[in-house]
Amino acid sequence: MEKNQIMAEVQEIFRDVLDNEDIVLSNETVADDIEEWDSLTHIQLVVAVEKHFKIKFTSKEILMWKNVGEMIDCIAAK
């Protein structure tokens, strides 16, 4: 799957989980850029992404992501 398409689908997941239709993601987006995105909602996002793409991240992968771009790379590599 193309990274652009992954990004679009991940953006929809973010909007749905964080209940904010205004969210626009880029590779550089970090938790500080989105008010609703904190350590708690982060896990909800991870679970939703895993379910949607039918993949499983390792704990280290989840804890290492520094921005959305790294999450997208990780999904693309699965």
Partner 1 sequence: MSFCSISFLLLFVTVFALYYFVAGGRRQWQNIVLLAAGYFLYGYADLKFLPLLFGITVVYFFLGKWMGKTANERTSRLLNVAGVVLGVGLLVYFKYLNFFIVSFAQLFGSMGLQVNVHTLNIIMPLGISFFVFRLISYVVDIHLQKTEATDDFLAFATYVSFFPCIMAGPIDRPGFMKQLQKGRDFDYDKVVDGCRQFLWGMLKKVAVADNIAGCVNNVWVNDTFHEPGGYLLVTALLYSFQMYMDFSGYSDMAIGVGKTLGLKVAKNFNYPFFAVNVADYWRRWHMSLTSWLTDYVFMPLNVKFRNMGQAGMILAIVINLVLVGMWHGDNWTYAVFGLYHGLLFIPLILSGAFFKKGKIKTGHLGLPCLKDAGRILLTFLLVTIGLVIFRADSVGRAFEYLASIFTNGVFSFSLEPKHWQCILCIFAVMCVEWKQRNRDHGLELSGIRSNVLKYAIYLAIVGFVLVTSTDASSFIYAQF
Residue from 15, 62, 67, 73 touching partner 1 (CB under 8 A): that is: 62
Non-local CB neighbours of 21 within 8 Å, separated by 6+ positions: 15
Residue 77 as a binder of partner 1 (CB under 8 A): the answer is: no
Query: 12 or 36: whose CB is closer to partner 1?
Result: 36
Number of residues in contact with partner 1 under rule CB under 8 A = 15
Residue 43 as a binder of partner 1 (CB under 8 A): the answer is: yes
Distance in angstroms (rounded) separating the CA atoms of residues 56 and 32:
25
Distance in angstroms (rounded) separating the CA atoms of residues 39 and 66:
13
| Residue 68 near residue 25 (C-beta atoms within 8 A) | yes
Residue from 41, 53, 67, 76 touching partner 1 (CB under 8 A): that is: 41
